[in-house]
Structure 1
Amino acid sequence: MSIPTSNNKVNLLDLCAAAIACTVTASKCIQEIAPSKNTRTKADGSFVTDADFVAQGVIVQALQSICPTLNIVGEESPEEMKQHEQRDRQLDRTLWKLSRNELQCRYFGTGMTHLPLHSKCREGELPAFPDDPEEFLVDPLRLRVIVDPLDGTKSYTNGDHDAVSILIGFILDDAPVFGVVGKPFGYTGLSSIRDTGCVTLYGGTLLRGAFVAGDKIPLSQPNPITPKAVISASRSKGVVQQFCQYLGEKGLLAADPLLVPGAGEKSVRILLSRNDEALWFYPKPGTSLWDVAATDALLRALGGKLTDKYGHNMDYSKSREEAENVDGVVACMSADLHRQCIELFAKDNWNEIP
């Protein structure tokens, strides 16, 4: 399926709608493929499964059906992704239309009882919208999409489905403008897309906010009583542990960070802040652009901040081979708390602690 563009440009709403819709198809692949039968280790020591490659193939096919020349950078190699390609997993056009209608509802505003991706919404309830603004029509050369098709693979192989996520970030002129975080196995307290079991958060400066698919209530910046850090259990020693304790002594954080696996799950924890989660702190190599692009877009829409340990914005122009965040990641729902973390980390030689 190829959707025509206007004056050799692509409509960003079309692409963003495809990103939302394909999280459902990719989620079905992740649900169906048994990880215990196809898990192996990559050269860098991380786990990978057939589901990683199939899910990335689904996402790439969906986005390129809208814009064949779109520049997509995925965690998995294009060569192995093609070996697992499944041409029967095409973009669901009905779901794409509903996703597009929902994005229009967000942008133009609507008094609908149920948004299009909610299971109770009926086609006859969908309103008519004006033509998309010119700002949505862009030259594809200005765009880059960064994809992690299955974040939390190690947890996935162990049967810990809560940590599994799909991450898709849209970069326009080197800045994140739209992000999608899909939860293939659902998320407690959040509605799934059309009763598919897949829960998806999306948004960015493109829509001036962040949202749960189908939910009328937009996400807003939480005000944690006692902000907490979220860190990985396997990477919680050394400078990560010591600096979080230091922030606790300063009264900026709760004393003990929460141990949360997966970049996507950490992102959702910060965005929802159900247990006062506010900071993802990891000032070392070990994450990559596909771990942070979607989160960066969502945080920017909510007044939060994501940078490296020096406070520099991520360089999303880097190649797939150079995508590692060598200077770490500091993500926070509060720009003020983020600023204090960066300033304090620059003092007292914290950067020299392993």
Structure 2
Amino acid sequence: MRINKTTIIGIFSCMIIIYIIHRRKSSRIINLKEALSLAIYASQSGGNVILENRNNLIIKNKGLTKEGLEDKVTSADYLSHCIMVKTIKHHFPSLNVISEESDTLCSPSDEMEKFIKHDSSNLDYVKEEWVKADDLTIWIDPLDATHEFTEKLYQYVTTMVCIALNGKPIIGVIHKPFENITSWAWVGKSRSADLDTNKKVYGENVKISISRSHSGKIKEILNEKLTNYELIEAAGAGYKSLQVAYKEVDAYLHITAIKKWDICAGNAILDALGGKMTDREQRNIDYSKNSNVINENGLIATLNNHDKFIGLL
């Protein structure tokens, strides 16, 4: 058989087409173990850029919250957003990613390129699982507790990544950059070592964590319905979710509307620990890509005795 130039070009072209088709198909199937590793890396990368820029901030005001406070955003919020989103999109371009700062235009830079190159974390003990990319939604909060960040109340600051499968949160990562602690959990699979605690820290009085800046009328409502309870005001939904996970409080209650990127990661972590996060009518929160980004009906987050707090709000 004589092989001419046209035949060689035809064979080569077919190989390229087959390769492209294979890449497109493979990009539509996601390894959740790799996605977890990437979520951990992205949250830590976002935290690193927050640390690097904490003393060189440009602060803007988005407007006023319902409580009349300035809704602040900083240059660190934007940088963290760009690094976290670019990191995930670089490795999984077909994934649907929703971030608090999704309107931000991210310009290419060498500073960002060094972050998006990812080597898998040491998760050899975690089993692999493959799902369709179309079934996943990634929720990112690049800097939770921005208001407190500008006040240098750094203990409340977190970066968060949540992976929802068909609207249900299954992987949550909450990173505390100023303490260099990363808490993560994959429902039914595994969790970070800091969440493997059986210590009993609940006291005689019920401890309830609420927002220090978005509390609404929750104090008045709880005073009418509860006695012998201790109220703890804290910032950042990620921080308060971890208070519940660490058994520092019995419940995290929120009565006003809250964005889903604030709560998705905490929801996944509590689910993995056998706890619950619902709205105040005990309905599960939908994190699918076409859902409203605002959870309008408050929330109740607990590890135990969830029913005890239903009806209070």
TM-score for both structures, normalised by structure 1? 0.73
Partners of 2:196 and 2:277 lie apart in 1 by 20
Equivalent residue for 2:171? 178
Equivalent residue for 2:250? 278
Partners of 1:284 and 1:161 lie apart in 2 by 24
Alignment-mate amino acid for residue 317 of structure 1: S
User: C-alpha displacement at 1:247, in angstroms?
Assistant: 5.1
User: C-alpha displacement at 1:269, in angstroms?
Assistant: 1.3
Equivalent residue for 1:229? 208
Partners of 1:92 and 1:318 lie apart in 2 by 26
Secondary structure in 1 matching 2:115: coil
User: C-alpha displacement at 1:237, in angstroms?
Assistant: 5.6
2:281 counterpart (298, 303, 310): 310
Number of aligned pairs?
Answer: 283
Does the Cα contact within 8 Å between 2:214 and 2:256 map onto a contact in 1? no
2:191 counterpart (210, 213, 217): 210
Secondary structure in 2 matching 1:46: strand
Equivalent residue for 2:308? 340
Aligned-residue CA RMSD in angstroms? 2.5
Distance 1:256 1:14, change over 3 A: same
User: C-alpha displacement at 1:244, in angstroms?
Assistant: 2.9
**Structure 2 portions without partners, runs of 5+:** 1-22, 65-69
1:245 counterpart (223, 229, 247): 223
Secondary structure in 2 matching 1:277: coil
Alignment-mate amino acid for residue 60 of structure 1: V
Alignment-mate amino acid for residue 48 of structure 1: V
Does the Cα contact within 8 Å between 2:208 and 2:229 map onto a contact in 1? no
User: C-alpha displacement at 1:204, in angstroms?
Assistant: 2.6
Distance 1:77 1:91, change over 3 A: closer
**1:1-354 correspondence to structure 2 within 5 Å:** 6=26, 8-34=28-54, 37-43=57-63, 45-78=70-103, 80-83=104-107, 86-93=111-118, 96-97=119-120, 99=121, 101-102=122-123, 104-105=124-125, 107=126, 132=128, 136-186=129-179, 198-207=180-189, 209-212=190-193, 218-220=196-198, 222=200, 224-226=202-204, 227-236=206-215, 238=217, 240-246=218-224, 248-249=226-227, 254-273=228-247, 276-285=248-257, 287-317=258-288, 319=290, 322-334=292-304, 336=305, 338-342=306-310, 344-345=311-312
Partners of 1:289 and 1:329 lie apart in 2 by 11
Secondary structure in 1 matching 2:309: helix
Does the Cα contact within 8 Å between 1:142 and 1:173 map onto a contact in 2? yes
Secondary structure in 1 matching 2:191: strand
Partners of 1:202 and 1:73 lie apart in 2 by 19
Distance 1:206 1:77, change over 3 A: same
Deviates more, 1:7-16 or 1:23-32: 7-16
User: C-alpha displacement at 1:8, in angstroms?
Assistant: 4.0
Alignment-mate amino acid for residue 316 of structure 1: Y
Distance 1:67 1:147, change over 3 A: same
Distance 1:142 1:222, change over 3 A: farther
User: C-alpha displacement at 1:210, in angstroms?
Assistant: 3.1
TM-score for both structures, normalised by structure 2? 0.82
User: C-alpha displacement at 1:157, in angstroms?
Assistant: 0.6
User: C-alpha displacement at 1:145, in angstroms?
Assistant: 0.5
**Structure 1 portions without partners, runs of 5+:** 109-131, 187-197
Distance 1:36 1:230, change over 3 A: farther
Secondary structure in 1 matching 2:265: helix
Partners of 1:223 and 1:30 lie apart in 2 by 32
Does the Cα contact within 8 Å between 2:168 and 2:288 map onto a contact in 1? no
Does the Cα contact within 8 Å between 1:59 and 1:149 map onto a contact in 2? yes
* Deviation string, structure 1 residues 197-236 (Cα, Å, up to 9, x no partner): x2100003152x4324xx6x72458562333101122344
